[in-house]
Amino acid sequence: MSLIVKICGLSTRETLDVALEAGADMVGFVFFPPSPRHLSLETALELGKLAKRRASKVALTVDADDATLANIVEALQPDILQLHGSETVARLRDIKQKFALPVMKAIAVATPADLASLPGYAAVADRILFDARAPREATRPGGLGAVFDWRVLENLDLKLPFLVSGGLDAGNVAEAIRVTRAGGVDVSSGVESLPGHKDPEMIRAFIGAARAIDSSSPLPGGERSPAHSAGG
C-alpha cells in the first residue's frame, strides 16, 4: 500500500490547489476557533467543492458537539472526521453512528505510557493519528510544530491504518517514516511560512520528500534519533 500524505490546515484556494496538484491523498480543514487555521463554514463550502473527488477531505474538530459537527458535515461534506480532542471511545462510537462517516482519532504521544488508550480507540476508529503531546499551557492540541520520539512507535503492533504527525517537514519526514513504519504522514506547521499561512513551495517539497521514501526500507545504522534531528 502506498504512503498516505495529508496536508492539514489548508485555508485558501491557492494552497489547496497546490496540495491537490502535488498529489496529496488527504486534505485537512480545521474547525477550531483557537487555531490560526480555523475555517468558516462559508470557506469550507467553497474549498470542499474544489477538493471533491481529487483527495479525501478531512474535517478536524476538537471536542465538538453534535450541532457543530452537523454544520461542518453539511458545509464540507467530508470523507472522514478527525477527532483531535479528549473524545472518549464512547463518543467516537456515537459520532460514527450519528454521522455515518469514518473517524480518525488523534492520540497525543510523549512517552510509551500514552499508548495505553490505544486499544480502546482502535476498536472503534477507522484510522489513528499519532501526534506530539502539546505543552500544558498550549491553547490547542496540535499544529504546534512539536516532535515526539518516534521510537515510541517502533514495535507497534496495530492492524489499523495509522498516520504520524507533529513537527514533520521535508527534512525529517523520511526518518519519521523509516522509524515508525507509518502508513501515512500528516503535516501542517511544517509547510508554513507563518502560523496559518501555507507556503506552496514547502507543500511541494514535503510531498516530494514523502513520495521519495520507500517505507519498507530499514532504518540505516547510525541515523540520528528524532530528538536530535527534528528541531521542532
Structure confidence by residue, pLDDT tens digits, 49-88 = 999 999 999 999 999 999 999 999 999 999 999 999 999 9
Q: Which residue has the cell 505543552?
A: 135
pLDDT of amino acid 165: 95
Determine the average pLDDT of the residues in 154-166: 92
Handedness of CA 11, 141, 41, 51 (dihedral sign): positive
31: pLDDT strictly greater than 60: yes
> Cα–Cα distance between 148 and 230 in angstroms, integer?
9
- The pTM of the full predicted model, rounded to 2 decimals, is 0.87
pLDDT tier for residue 135 given thresholds of 50, 70 and 90: low
* Residue in 119, 178, 120, 121 with CA at minimum distance from that of residue 153: 178
pLDDT tier for residue 114 given thresholds of 50, 70 and 90: very high
pLDDT of amino acid 145: 58
Of 100 and 142, which is predicted with more confidence?
100
pLDDT tier for residue 157 given thresholds of 50, 70 and 90: confident
| Mean pLDDT of all residues belonging to the chain | 88
Hey, what amino acid is at 174? A
pLDDT of amino acid 216: 45
pLDDT of amino acid 144: 52
Whether the Cβ atoms of residue 153 and residue 129 lie closer than 8 Å to each other: no
Query: What residues are labeled active site?
Result: 8, 131
| pLDDT > 90 in the chain, percent | 80
Determine the average pLDDT of the residues in 145-170: 90
Domains of the chain as residue ranges with CATH: 4-216 (3.20.20.70)
pLDDT of amino acid 2: 87
pLDDT of amino acid 133: 82
| pLDDT > 70 in the chain, percent | 86
139: pLDDT strictly greater than 70: no
Determine the average pLDDT of the residues in 140-165: 81
